[in-house]
Structures are given as structure tokens and as C-alpha cells.
Amino acid sequence: MTEAKTEKTRSAVAQGSPVVQVRNLRAGYGDKIIIQDVSFEVHSGEIVCLIGGSGCGKSTVVRTLVGLLTPMAGEVRVLGQDPHALSDAERIQLLSRVGMLFQNGALLGSMTVGDNIALPLREHTDLPDNVIRRIAEAKLDMVGLPGTVDLLPAELSGGMRKRASLSRAMALDPDLLLCDEPSAGLDPIVAAGLDVTLRRLQRQLGMTMIVVTHELASINLIADRVVMLQGGGTVLAQGTLAAMHGSEIPAVQDFFARTPPDEEHQGGQSLLEALEG
């Protein structure tokens, strides 16, 4: 199954089409435009980290990719297709090849971990229940959570919940995995463990990944390429990890060097000046 999937994505590359294409994307919520003009591509088998300050639109980009948000302008193509131009049945087909890991896991709290993983399997396949259970157990083993298949999400720690969500995202062996801030809220050791797991799975299964993050440690560990968004909702810089480290753009340098903003020089008058005239 793994080889067949890798073949499929390789053939997509052989045809010259990237796994994800974003062109001049413009999106927002209601009247608020978050992303003005974003363009980038993701090629098969690579891990791209989508980075930028808070509010730059990283999560918004990911939401347009999975069809949760309709773009206002521009084009989005996932696995060669535009999720917003498809019929319902076709979109469901496409989404079965994409897995998404939400920031807080987003496991359904009323179902066990095993039932959570079984959800996409029951929806998109005709497999009998005992086979589905075995697949769920295998997926949990893959992410380092053996024996948790009958636990409720509330009985897991934060890190374990993320791993369980990861195994749900991978239930159908997706070609593309999207992760929204996977390390958020995790202590450094658990976060590093999750990064290592992501990297290992990506190598073993040949998945393409887009990881939204602003944790430098994660970026340095897993990124093949980096796309950096900036405040106005445009792409500030993109390139390989090495290229970003060597970038001459000040904002990029500050990001990777973790330079704190200048506290001293605040523009405008001080209260002292106002009181002394």
C-alpha cells in the first residue's frame, strides 16, 4: 500500500504537477482580508514549513487548502485539483487523500481514540469493523501510542492527544498531511519527539507535508523548504532552509536569530515631555 501510494505521488511529479499550488491567493473572513496575495508551491515528498508572525494568515492559507474557507481571489490546487471547484462527491474523494492535524488535536471528545481513527475509515471504505480496529491499532503504534485504542481523548495528555490526532489524520494513508502548529502547548521534549515522528513517517511513507509553525527548533529539525508570510498577508520570502538562514532580508534574519523587538525606542512623545512642555 505504501509503495502504491508513493508511486501515485511520484507519477504526479513525473507529470510535472506539484502536490500543492497556491497562486495569488486572497482570502479572509467576512469583511476582513487576512491574505492579500500569496503564491507558493509544494513538491512531492518535501516538508514545507509555513511560518510568519501571529496573524499573518498561516492558518487561513491551510484552511483554503482543505476547503474550509473559500478564496476571494486567486487559485488553490491540491493534488492537481481545485477543492472549491469540485462537486461534493469529488471533494470528499480529494479530502480522503489529505490528512489534517489541528492545533488542539480536535479529536471528537465523545468517542474513543479508536473510534476517532475509525471515522474516516468507516466513511470512505467498506472495511469490516475488526479490520478497521486493527488498522487503528497499527496507526497508533506508528505514532508511538500502543494500547490507547479504547481510551477517551480526555484520558490522554496533550502530547498523546496530538499523536492520536496524527494517527487519525493518517488513517487513510494520505498523500498530503497538513499540520497546524503541532508543537503548540507541548514541552520541548514532547515537541521534539513529535517532530522526529513526523520526519520518520514522512521518510517511511513518502508523504508531502505542510507544517504551520513558529517554533524555530521544529523548523530547523524538519523543514526542507520554508515559506514565510508577513503582516500584510503576502509572502515575504521562501526557499530552502539553508537559503532562509542565509537570507539578507532583515525580518527573516530576525526571525531565525530570534531577535527581540526593540523596547527602548518607542515613537512619539513621552509623558515626561508632555508634562514639562
Partner 1 sequence: MQIERRDEDGGAVLTLSGSLDAGAAGVVLQALRRTSKASVQLTLDLSAIRECDTVGVATLAECLVIAQDHGCRLKAAGLSPALRKALKRAPAPSRRASQGQAALFERVGDGVVHIFSSGVAFAQLLADAAYWSLVAPLRGLLPPPGATVDQGLRMGVQTFPIVSLTAFLLGLIVTFLGAHQLRQFGANIFVANLVGVAMVRELGPLITAIVVAGRTGSAITAELGTMTVGEEVDALRTMGIDPIRFLVVPRVYAITFTQPALSLYAMAIGVVGGFVISLFYLDLGASVFFKQVFRSLAMSDLLQGLSKSVVFAWTISLTGCFYGLRITGGPAGVGRATTTSVVTSIFSIIVIDSIFAVASTVFAT
What is the binding site for partner 1 (CB under 8 A)?
Answer: 63, 66-68, 91-93, 95-96, 98, 100, 102-104, 106-110, 119-120, 122-124, 266, 268-277
Closest approach, Cβ 140 to partner 1, in A, equals 17
Closest approach, Cβ 246 to partner 1, in A, equals 36
Beta bridge partners of 27: 35
Do residues 117 and 140 lie in contact, with contact meaning Cβ atoms separated by under 8 Å? yes
- The span from the CA of 119 to the CA of 98, in Å, is 14
Closest approach, Cβ 127 to partner 1, in A, equals 15
Q: Residue 25: count other Cβ atoms within 10 Å of its Cβ.
A: 25
* Residue 195: burial class (beta carbons within 10 Å; 0-12, 13-18, 19+): buried
Comparison of 92 and 249: residue with beta carbon closer to partner 1: 92
Comparison of 64 and 247: residue with beta carbon closer to partner 1: 64
Closest approach, Cβ 249 to partner 1, in A, equals 30
Comparison of 52 and 120: residue with beta carbon closer to partner 1: 120
Comparison of 130 and 269: residue with beta carbon closer to partner 1: 269
Name the helix (H) or strand (E) containing 222: helix 216-222
Comparison of 168 and 214: residue with beta carbon closer to partner 1: 168
Say how many Å lie between the first and final Cα of the chain, rounded. Answer: 77
- The span from the CA of 88 to the CA of 114, in Å, is 27
Closest approach, Cβ 247 to partner 1, in A, equals 33
